[in-house]
Every structure is written in structure tokens, then in C-alpha cells.
């Protein structure tokens, strides 16, 4: 749990996480969008914890530059997920790890 008394410990952990992610981004050719978005989210949170407001805004700008249509894609995914969930619920189908919404929709026809 974060308290003012544990701030130094938290910042030590945050710095290690920051260095690890920065190293991974520099070392590996990461092409998975979810991984990159996750890294950007963690790094923007790290910036907030370090009270690096400019760094936080920079990470948001990087995310928006790399994924300009991200919000639209998130809304679309949420609509599809909700529709898939409703289809499963109304047909009493229990599915573990569906491959895609298209395959799921085809299987429900």
C-alpha cells in the first residue's frame, strides 16, 4: 500500500520498472500493439508517480502519434465485446478464449 512513509520504496521500484521497460523498447523490435500500448501506459503512470508532468504528456503524445485512431478502435472493440457477450448470454453458450469476434459471430448463426 502506498503511503508517504513508503514513497522512497515505491520510487525505487518505479525507477527499476522504468529502466526495464525502456531497455526492452530499445533492445527488442516489439510489434505487438497491445504490448506497446501497455508499456506506454506503464511509462506514463511512472512519470506521474515521479511527478514528471512533461514526461507524462510526452508518453500520451507518443501513444496518440503511434495510434491516432485508438479511441475509435477502443469504442468499436467495446461494442463488439458487448454484442458478443449478449449473444453468448442469450444463447447460453459458454466459450473459453474465442479466436475472434468474426469466428464467434459465424458460430452463432
Mean pLDDT of all residues in the chain?
75
**pLDDT-derived band at 91, boundaries 50, 70, 90:** low
For residue 103, which of 92, 90, 87 has the smallest C-alpha distance?
87
| Ranges of each domain in the chain | 4-68, 71-108
- CA distances 27 to 24, 30, 70, 96, Å, are 5, 9, 25, 34
**Cα 6 to the center of its chain, rounded Å:** 26
Dihedral over alpha carbons 80, 81, 84, 90 (to 10 degrees): -120
Q: Count of alpha carbons within 13 Å of 84, Cβ hemisphere only? A: 20
pLDDT given for residue 21 in this prediction: 94
Give pTM, 2 decimals. Answer: 0.59
Read off the DSSP letter of residue 29: -
Per-residue pLDDT reduced to its tens digit, 30-83:
988 888 888 988 998 898 888 888 888 888 888 888 877 776 666 666 665 566
Amino acid at each position: 500500500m502506498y503511503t508517504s512513509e513508503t514513497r522512497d520504496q515505491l520510487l525505487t521500484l518505479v525507477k527499476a520498472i522504468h529502466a526495464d521497460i525502456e531497455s526492452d523498447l530499445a533492445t527488442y523490435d516489439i510489434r505487438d500493439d497491445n504490448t506497446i500500448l501497455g508499456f506506454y501506459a506503464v511509462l506514463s503512470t511512472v512519470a506521474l508517480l515521479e511527478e514528471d508532468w512533461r514526461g507524462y504528456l510526452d508518453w500520451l503524445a507518443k501513444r496518440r502519434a503511434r495510434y491516432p485512431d485508438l479511441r475509435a478502435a477502443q469504442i468499436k472493440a467495446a461494442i463488439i465485446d458487448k454484442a458478443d457477450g449478449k449473444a453468448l448470454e442469450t444463447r447460453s453458450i459458454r466459450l473459453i478464449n474465442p479466436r475472434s469476434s468474426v469466428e464467434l459471430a459465424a458460430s452463432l448463426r
